[in-house]
Amino acid sequence: MWRILFKSLPLLVAVILCETYSLNPDPGPWVQPTNGEPWPLPNLRRLNNAFYFLRASTFQFNVVGETCDIVVDAIERYKAIILTEARIARMFSQGQARSSAMRDNSTVKGTLTALNIHLGEPCEEGGNHWPYLEMKESYTLSVNETSTVANLVAESVWGILRGLETFSQLLSPSGDGSNLKIRCQTIVDRPKLPHRGLLLDTSRHYLPISDILLTLDAMSYNKMNVLHWHIVDDNSFPYQSSVFPELSAKGAYHPSMIYTLNDIQKIVDYARLRGIRVMPEFDTPGHTRSWGLAYPDLLTTCYDSSGKANGKLGPMNPTNPNLYDFLRFLLFEIVQVFPDQYVHLGGDEVPFDCWKSNPQINQYMSSHNMSNNFALLEGEYIAELLRITNSLNANTIVWQEVFDNGVTMPNTTVVHVWTGLWSKELENATKAGHPVLLSACWYLDHIAGGGDWKKFYKCDPLSFNGAANVTHLMLGGEACMWGEFVDRHNVHPRIWPRASAAAERLWSNAKQDENKAAQRLEEHACRMNRRGIPAQPPNGPGFCLT
């Protein structure tokens, strides 16, 4: 009987598959995308039923008043984006009927000829105007039915960048094969929170410079403004230090997988033109195994239960008198290379077992009245590190364990919450007077299958006790793309459009119904595809015209 069953198995499978398909030919509902709807959602928007045509080949960007290289570069980028949108609209318009809005000539006000850009403040001279925390990103964008010229007004160049991005997202195909269209409206917009970041891990897998630049493009399309560059870790040390070149020479995966100082300069310059800060993280005293390939004396020698060295190295050795001079020289270089005013010092997941096994460290702790409280040793290390960064006029961020372990820190030290009951962590840190960042609910390496963006969209960074009284301490948050299982081949679809959900929660005060948000995200994912970002489908079955 079994032989007969196995011989018949291919036929049975075919019948079952055919029956399944015929009974349920649609594996899921198609989310109808919007047309000309922005992401993230603007904070104040007044819509009109009238439309303008826009001819990409003749449309003009006019700078009224102040300008600088950031504005000039942005105009060229958005000209290219609009031309691409028009080309794709023409390509796929054949055989399509004009939309109902375009058939109703009473709603068409004519052709929009230009966008006037009004910048209130001059950019600093010499191209040294770097983005910074609390930079002004507000803007007003008006497409008035009484004028064929739209207006973008912002106090700072950063607001101009955000407004240009919104303007580009309001465009959609007109349906006649030669034009784009834009709806008459007024948008008054500003971010809810000043720090809207994405963590990118280049230690677990090296990411080529071109992929980092593409990530910066995608961040600008989502109004994210901080690239948190987790550049080194246990696995590799791809940062090429001019002071300690052996760190990358021995700690990188391969000589071709190193970021030179020129590479970093290219990345931070590219980010600046998009209003994005590049904040480095050099995580210590844990996550430092790759440091020990060049400088093993910096790390702690681990011992087995019989008191013999077991050949393993643990976290940095805080009792090594040469350690802090080494870190002082390295951090001095880092704050020169990265123009951002913040540096992330890490401090997470410090394993105490190796410290506990080391006789020299135990002797040090005994002589300093630390008993067996290794959190005190960690605290001593972090305190010295903070003294170094303070002497370099650098602001600092640490992972939440540093705060949880009771380390004494200046109130200016930012606590970055990534695990546990995050609402309670935010409450405790802000009660202690520390600024905070949230990442706990935006870990992009935690995959729930398919379009799991909604779980990120549900997270409100201001939903903790006392938030209303400490809005000045809630700086924002970051979506985190840890690199254990991503490299250049899958990093972009893993991030986008899932990180877009976090971007909207950090920018927009209004929280839209998930079904409506899904329609906008469907359009936005296709929009990113057209701009060269391989964002994955957010909602299931559907299609993009690219």
What the block records as the tokens of 248 is 């990358």
Residues 6+ apart with CB under 8 A from 262: none
Asked if 423 contacts 449 with a C-beta cutoff of 8 angstroms, the reply is no
**E strands in 71-160:** 108-111, 114-119, 139-143, 149-154
**For residues 427 and 448, what is the distance between their CA atoms, to the nearest angstrom?**
28
Q: Are strands 195-201 and 436-438 parallel, antiparallel or unpaired?
A: unpaired
Alpha-carbon distances of 394 from 91, 338, 377, rounded to whole Å: 51, 11, 23
Number of neighbouring beta carbons within 10 Å of residue 325: 11
Amino acid identity at 149 = V
Peptide bond into 285 cis (omega under 30): yes
Residues 6+ apart with CB under 8 A from 151: 115, 116, 118, 140, 141, 142, 144
Residues 6+ apart with CB under 8 A from 369: none
**For residues 440 and 423, what is the distance between their CA atoms, to the nearest angstrom?**
9
**For residues 133 and 413, what is the distance between their CA atoms, to the nearest angstrom?**
14
Per-residue burial over 219-250, b = 16 or more CB atoms within 10 Å of its CB, e = otherwise: bbbbbbbbbbbbbbbebbbbbbbeebeebbee
Instruction: Provide DSSP, 219-230.
Output: HHHTT--EEEEE
Residue 478's SS3 state is strand
Number of neighbouring beta carbons within 10 Å of residue 145: 16
| Residue 392, beta-bridge partner list | none
Q: Which residue is it, tokens 């391989």? A: 534
Asked if 313 contacts 290 with a C-beta cutoff of 8 angstroms, the reply is no
Active site annotation includes 349: yes
Rounded to the nearest angstrom, the gap between the alpha carbon of residue 505 and the centroid of all alpha carbons in its chain is: 13
**Which listed residue (19, 76, 124, 349) is catalytic?**
349
Rounded to the nearest angstrom, the gap between the alpha carbon of residue 233 and the centroid of all alpha carbons in its chain is: 19
Per-residue burial over 23-35, b = 16 or more CB atoms within 10 Å of its CB, e = otherwise: eeeeeeeebebbb
Q: Which residue is it, tokens 């990188």? A: 252
What the block records as the tokens of 137 is 């990103």
Query: Which positions are annotated as active-site residues?
Result: 349
